[in-house]
Amino acid sequence: MAVLRVLALAAVALLTLASAALAQPARDLFGAMHAPTTGPEIPVGSYAKGCIAGAVQLPTDGPGWQAMRLSRDRRWGSAELVNYIGALAQSAAQDGWPGILVGDMGQARGGPMASGHASHQIGLDVDIWFERMPDYKLSADERENLSARSMLKKGTRDIDPQRFGEAQRLLLYRAAELPGVARIFVAPGIKKSLCAVTWRDRSFLNKIRPWYGHDDHFHVRLDCPAGVELCVNQAPAPAGDGCGAELDYWFTDEPYKPSDKPPAPPLTLADLPKACTAVLKAD
């Protein structure tokens, strides 16, 4: 019934929203929203083209975590995502990890952001720093200005063993083993480090995928909640542990060649699923 209500609201919203608004960059419209919709949680669309109704906000601090970059107001997501963060903090503590620093999740109603991410739009993505949480409560200034350090040797694609070691590998193992995880994105060198270890069960490696720019944090993506028809899952990862030719490709120059295609224009509201218009206009 909740999905039908959103679709009905979308139809009304499209009739009342000016065509000029539909052509506006969606990042401006969703970036201006700082409160979620009331009502049920409904992720709408895909990770890089969607929105979320009924998002919840991660508390600034919790058992085993502290949130960073509070001024961005990107601590919103599905209840599943908030629960996942708490579960990861609890699981990682079993290995002695002192707590996790939480980076960007999503905006209050999801949607495209003005900077930093193409995805994180439907409340199912979160960035986790590789830095350990300190044993004190960070100040507001520290949360804004402390930097996450790269786990790679400067000027290379390989890990720096002084920064990335067993503790970080176990953190990624814990992150991938929790229920509902679709993908975890890391720098290729970090994936290579995981592949080099003898694991009793290597199946979790399938979820850990190499991607650009993830050398100082890892990006967790959850599956769509069961039964939410408006939410579009990413295609399953290729079979296997991803440690062969697929990973070797990332250590060639090919992935890093500048594109000869012009930059894509920013997404407009008309580019998003129609239900996102209702999410934007809802109370």
Tens of pLDDT, residues 102-161: 999 999 999 999 887 899 999 999 999 999 999 999 999 999 999 999 999 999 999 999
Of 20, 51, 33, give the one whose Cα is nearest residue 119. 51
More confident residue, 13 or 80: 80
CB atoms inside a 10 Å sphere around CB 236: 9
Q: From 219, 281, 283, 280, select the one nearest 51 (Cα to Cα).
A: 280
At residue 263, the pLDDT reads: 85
Contact 85, 126 (CB under 8 A): yes
In this prediction, residues 216-232 reach a mean pLDDT of 97
pTM of the model: 0.92
Tens of pLDDT, residue by residue over 26-42, are 999 999 999 999 999 99
What is the reported pLDDT for 10? Answer: 47
Whether the pLDDT of residue 12 is over 70: the answer is no
Arithmetic mean of pLDDT over the chain:
93
**pLDDT mean over 32-57:** 97
pLDDT of residue 17: 56
* CA–CA separation, 36 and 56 (whole Å): 7
The pLDDT value recorded for residue 23 is: 79
The closest alpha carbon to 124, from 255, 2, 272, 232, belongs to 232
